[in-house]
Each structure stands twice: as structure tokens, then as C-alpha cells.
Amino acid sequence: MTKTLGTDPLGSPLGPNAKEDDHFHDECGVFGIYGTPDAAALTALGLHALQHRGQEACGVVAWDSHLPARAQSTAPEDIEDPVGHFTGTFSAHRGMGLVSDNFSSQSVIDGLPGSVAIGHNRYATCGASMLRNVQPIFADLAFGGFAIAHNGNLTNAYTLRESLVGAGAIFQSTSDTEVIVHLVARSHKATVLERVTEALGRIEGAYSLVIVAEGRLMGVRDPHGVRPLCLGRLGDAYVLASETCAFDIIGAEYVRDIDPGEMVVIDADGVRSLRPFEKTSSRFCIFEYVY
């Protein structure tokens, strides 16, 4: 079984590791899918196709609307969503190593039921490898469960973390991504979409995100378009991924790229496009062409 947290001491949330060593590098891969009972298995396949973007660690979080609102996880602690309006069961499996090391067992896939899932491949860092930094990250927030995976680098993450810790926030990892979770949690906006929009309005840097909340799959790309994010379709299901090779391996059809500054929301009504962030001059990373 994969543990969600490592056994290493957390140390100071503002120590040197928080600032330098354990940031996710830019080449991480993200994948998300909505609307198929094989969501976890397809996510694992998508991550396998994106393995070149990160080999240190990987993880999948799935959401199932047909189970009681109590999470069952392959991790030692259950992930529970206490609200129950849109929610059912969140389950998670995260581990160090390659996708094949962690998701080849049918029992692991069977432990991730649901029609919505997101996944993440982590690129090796110059610092220590720690299981507590493996994505996707999950948290129980006021509106229910919130899972997020991030490709990119937030240039003001340390400043925001310092402010959040000073205000009483408790961090469980040293990743940039957890800063976003805390900003969403502290937002007083009425809806999840408004909370996410407000949180992202405070961050600077490059990001492509996949998020599961309230039974929806969301994808967001930063206004500069530094990191890629693509939309695909597999029958009645929709797929988000860092690269189209993840569509090829599952037989999905490429639809389009997510535009810089765009947020897509995928639910039972289909795909909705929002543009809460003003598009700026393109700064697409040229190294994406060689990853």
C-alpha cells in the first residue's frame, strides 16, 4: 500500500527545503478524465505515455459518485468528503518510482473506483525524494473534497507560503501546489470556481492544473501559456493532458489546446470554457518541443 505521507520529519514549513530543494520541476506531467467507469485505469495509461515528463514519483486520485460519502483509499488514512451534495468517494494511490512500478496491479486499479480521475508524474528534483510531496494533492475543504495536480513553477510561492504560515496555515508538504490549496481554502467566494479563480489571481509563474471538486473536472492554464494543456474526447468522456501522446495511448481524439488564461469545466453538461484571466504575451517554453 502506498502511504500518503513520508516518515521523514516535516521540519520547518519555511526552511530551506520549502524554498528550494523540493519544488516540482517544470517538466511534470498531468492527466485528467471525466465520464468513464475506467477513469483510474485510463489515467494510469495516460501517465505511462507521459512518463518522459517525470520519473521520480506518480499518483492518481479518483472520484466515485455511486458510493457513500466516505472515502476508501489505498493510503493508510481515508480521504473523506463531508459535504455530500456533489460528492461520493475520493480514493488515492501515490508512490515513488515509475507508473509501471505503482499501477501494474489490478488490485491497485480496483481500489480507485469512479468516473473522474486525475494523475501526476513528478520530475526528479535536486533535493530529497519525499512521498509527502507526491501529487495529486487532496484536501477536505468547506465545500467538500478538492484534488489538484500541477505542472509548472510558482515564482511567488515562498512569499505566499510565508504569509499563509504567519496567518496560521499548516503545510504538510514543501510543494508549490499546496500553496494553491491553502489559497482556495481561505477564499470567501461563494462557489468553487470563484474560489479557484481568486486563488490563481494571487499566484505568479507557470502552471497547468487539473482539479477535481464537486464532481467536476477542471483544467486551467496560466495567462502566459508557459506550460501546455490539451483537451481530448473518448466517446462520451473528456480528457485533459499535458501532451497528446496521452490521448493516443487510450484511443482518445484530440480536440484542441487549452488557451492561455483559460479555465475549462467538465461535468454532466459537457465542457464549459471560462476566461477569468486576461491573456498576456505568450511565453510558451520552447523545451516543451523536446520533452
pLDDT in tens, 172-209: 999 999 999 999 999 999 999 999 999 999 999 999 99
What is the residue extent of each domain of the chain?
A: 24-289
Answer yes or no: is pLDDT of 11 > 90. Answer: no
Answer yes or no: is pLDDT of 288 > 90. Answer: no
Arithmetic mean of pLDDT over the chain: 85
**Distance in angstroms (rounded) separating the CA atoms of residues 219 and 100:** 25
Least confident of 23-32, 78-87, 156-165, 268-277: 78-87
Question: What is the pLDDT, as a whole number, of residue 109?
Answer: 98
Question: pLDDT higher for 157 or 280?
Answer: 157
Task: Specify which of 53-67, 73-87, 243-257 reaches the highest per-range mean pLDDT.
Answer: 243-257
* Catalytic residue status for 28: yes
Q: Choosing from 28, 126, 230, 285, which is the catalytic residue?
A: 28
Span 43-50, average pLDDT: 99
Question: What is the pLDDT, as a whole number, of residue 278?
Answer: 75
The predicted model scores a pTM of 0.84
Least confident of 69-73, 149-153, 213-217: 69-73
Tell me, which fold does domain 24-289 have in CATH?
Answer: Glutamine Phosphoribosylpyrophosphate, subunit 1, domain 1 (3.60.20)
